[in-house]
Structure formats: structure tokens, C-alpha cells
Structure 1
Amino acid sequence: MSSPKFEIATVGGGCFWCTEAIFQEVRGVHRVVSGYTGGNAPGRPTYREVCSGLTGHAEVVQVFFDPDVITYYDLLVIFMTTHDPTTLNRQGADVGTQYRSVIYYHNEAQHETAKEVIKELADSFDAPIVTEVSPLETFYEAEDYHQDYYRNNPRQGYCSYVISPKLNKLRKLHAEKLSKA
């Protein structure tokens, strides 16, 4: 029996803690890693530097998934419907370019799928979708304390008031795509 061959999706939908928690519940997702990409500052960025807004990096997650269980298309639909892709450089109270809505594609097939999903979902929102679609360059893994943040801190205020409602929305909209565990 062979092990699954995982593909990677890289997206940013505001704070990476939220996006990470969403994808950790999706069936076919093997691992989710929080990190940074899309910036222009030299060297490996730190959380503090990214939060300053001066590096140009976005908070993103890399989603390692089994395409035989969940498609890239379906992951992007989940992504687009569990954050607000119509607000530029903002998700709720989180404001700045580091919180932009963005899909970083790994190849031309992902690029085409991203454009397709955005076009198909455009009429589902009251405002135009502003999600950036860009090629992935260098991904920097975030510091250890950012990994599995919601799982490790479910009672923390941000988790209770911001992440939990997003998870409830995920469970309502995409129940058939979620893990049982």
C-alpha cells in the first residue's frame, strides 16, 4: 500500500491562526503550516517585522492535502467562503497588508483554478472580490508558537471571539467536507 502524494495550497485570509484552524478540520488535509510570504524585505521575517507592515509579507498557511480526498478547487471554495474576500488589507479588526486576502499558486493549474473559483463566486458577495492571486515565491514558516495556535489556545480571547465563529461558519457551509475526528 502506497502513501498518498500530497499537494500544497498556500493562502492568506487575514490572521493565519484563523485560516490554519479552518483547514485543520477539512477531510484530506494532512498538515497546515502557518507562515509568511509575498514580501520584499531581505532575510527571514519575524512575526514582529511582519506585523509592522513594513516587510510586505502576508500571514499565510500552507495546506498539505491529498488530492484524491479533497481537490484544490474545493479547498479554495472553503477558503473564499470562510473569510471576507471583499475587504482590502483587512479581516475584521486585523488591518494591514499582512492581513490581505491572497492565493499564492504553485503552478499554472492552480493559477487557473484560483481565477475560476473567484469568477464563479463573484456574485455570492455584496462587494467585489479583492483577493490577490500571485505566484508563490519563498515561504517562511512562522515561529513555533504560531503553529496549531487554536488547538493549543482554544480559550484565548481571540480564539473564542474570532476563530470559533469562523469554525461554526465552516461547519455550517461545508459539513460534508470535514473530518469526523
Structure 2
Amino acid sequence: MLTRESRKSLAIFLGLVLGGFVAAPSGHAQKTSGLMPREGEEVATLAGGCFWCTEAVFERMKGVNDVVSGYTGDPDVTNPNYQMVLSKRTKHAEAIQIFYDPNVVSYRQLLDVFFQIHNPMTLNQQGVDKGPQYRSAIFYHDEAQKAEAEKVIAKLNKSPKFRRPIVTEVTPVGQFHLAEEYHQDYFRKNPYQAYCQSTVAPKIRKFDNLFKDQVRTEGIGSR
């Protein structure tokens, strides 16, 4: 069975051969400039396995203005790229930044979705995706976010639904590096790619079923 990475490599190759919906990976991740919240926005930074999955889900949520994929969690490497992260030459996690309107959706609501669309009980693994780059983590931007994250985790640890302890890291956010362009909005650009169909789409359906009142009806913008 193809792993996510072999499927991704195949998708990139086919994109090049066919004149391409997918750009070839090259060089380092994009710079962090421009990732500032607009007036009235707040930011959440979350890691829950493959960022194709989490990005695609949160782009469907009311009150979310934009979602970008990137790498964070290793202050010692200042210019990572996908191959470095994949080969574990850095300690970065695949993560997303969510730019949202707190008047429409709360940080707690984002966390509620986050804990439903990935498995927070598996250390350094989400399904077929294995390695510390796929770890479950909440990178908080202020003490209020930290307190909310710890409160939610404490509640979930008492829930019978979670049979094992939550392993989600709660750590202060550091530098966030935008992932390469071909990773951005990957599901929207490649909905029929094999990994998207087998792994991303089921998470979207789960979100749509569990959070019907929070599914947006209009398209999302871009930063």
C-alpha cells in the first residue's frame, strides 16, 4: 500500500508531467513575512498530523478567514524545507496557522474541532503518517490560549471516549515557517489525489457531520 509520502511524490511527478497542478518542491520553505493577523483577527497554531488534513478541515469552518500550512517547533533550525522535516533533520512539526474572527468563532471551538479530527492519544503518529513531524501539538500565542488548551485536555482526559492519556504538547509558539507553495490549499487544488481521497476527505466528512452549524457556506479568502 502506498504511504502518504509515496503518494505525495507520485502526485508531484504527475503534476509535472501533465503540465501541473502541483509545483515541484525546491529550496527552502517560504519566509514568515506577511503572516500577521489583520485588524480584528486572532491566530491559532495547531499541529495534528499531515497539514493537508488540518488545513482542509479548518478552511471549512465559519469565522475562519484563512489557513496556512507550515513548520514550527524547532528554534535551532531557522530555514527548514519539507525534505528536511520529512527526514527528521529538524524537530519541526507540520502545523497550520488559523486566522479567525473571534466574534464568530472562539479559540475553544477551534480546539473542539482539533481534538475531533485527529487522534491526540498517539505519540508522533497519525494513521499511516509516522514521525515527530506528525506529533499532536498546540502552540499557544498567549497565556489565555495556554490556559484554554490545558483546560480542554484535562476535560478530555476524564472522558470515557479517550481510553489513553492525551499526548498533545502545549508549548509557546515560536517562528512559523510557511510551507512550500505546493502544500498550500492542497486539498482544494487536488481533491482526487489518492491521499486526499483516503485520508483528508474522511476528516472533512467527519467535521461536516459533527459540526453542521459551523460549516461555512461561502468560500475562504487567502492571505
Fold-level similarity (TM above 0.5): yes
Q: 3-state DSSP class of the match of 1:127?
A: coil
Aligned to 1:179: 216
Query: Is the Cα contact below 8 Å between 1:82 and 1:166 reproduced in 2?
Result: yes
Counterpart amino acid of residue 133 in structure 1:
V
Q: CA deviation at 1:54?
A: 2.2
Query: Is the Cα contact below 8 Å between 1:4 and 1:66 reproduced in 2?
Result: no
Aligned to 2:7: none
Aligned equivalents of 1:129, 1:51: Cα separation in 2: 24
Counterpart amino acid of residue 87 in structure 1:
T
Q: CA deviation at 1:94?
A: 0.2
Matched, 1:138 2:175: yes
Of stretches 33-42 and 139-148 in structure 1, the one that deviates more from structure 2 is 33-42
Aligned to 1:48: 83
Query: Is the Cα contact below 8 Å between 1:40 and 1:55 reproduced in 2?
Result: no
Matched, 1:108 2:165: no
Query: Is the Cα contact below 8 Å between 2:75 and 2:175 reproduced in 1?
Result: no
Q: CA deviation at 1:159?
A: 0.2
Query: Is the Cα contact below 8 Å between 1:50 and 1:98 reproduced in 2?
Result: yes
Aligned equivalents of 2:194, 2:137: Cα separation in 1: 26
Aligned equivalents of 1:15, 1:167: Cα separation in 2: 13
Q: Give the alignment's Cα RMSD to 1 decimal.
A: 1.1
Aligned equivalents of 1:170, 1:64: Cα separation in 2: 18
Larger Rg: 2
Q: CA deviation at 1:40?
A: 4.3
Taking structure 2 as the reference length, what is the TM-score of the superposition? Answer: 0.78
List aligned pairs for 1:1-181, cutoff 5 A.
Answer: 5-122=40-157, 123=159, 124-181=161-218
Query: Is the Cα contact below 8 Å between 1:86 and 1:127 reproduced in 2?
Result: yes
Query: Is the Cα contact below 8 Å between 1:10 and 1:62 reproduced in 2?
Result: yes
Taking structure 1 as the reference length, what is the TM-score of the superposition? Answer: 0.96
Counterpart amino acid of residue 69 in structure 2:
S
Identity %: 49
Query: Is the Cα contact below 8 Å between 2:75 and 2:174 reproduced in 1?
Result: no
Aligned equivalents of 1:106, 1:52: Cα separation in 2: 28
Query: Is the Cα contact below 8 Å between 2:40 and 2:101 reproduced in 1?
Result: yes
Aligned to 2:6: none
Aligned equivalents of 1:158, 1:40: Cα separation in 2: 30
Q: CA deviation at 1:42?
A: 2.6
Q: CA deviation at 1:81?
A: 0.8
Q: CA deviation at 1:73?
A: 0.5
**Structure with greater proportional strand content:** 1
Note the alpha carbon deviations across 1:1-28, whole angstroms, 9 max, x for none: xx86110000000000000001000000
Aligned equivalents of 1:111, 1:61: Cα separation in 2: 17
Note the alpha carbon deviations across 1:40-82, whole angstroms, 9 max, x for none: 4433100000001120000000000000000000000100111
Note the alpha carbon deviations across 1:134-175, whole angstroms, 9 max, x for none: 000110000111000000000000000000011111111111
Q: 3-state DSSP class of the match of 2:95?
A: strand
Structure 2 alignment gaps of length 5 or more: 1-37, 219-223
Task: Number of aligned residue pairs: give it.
Answer: 179
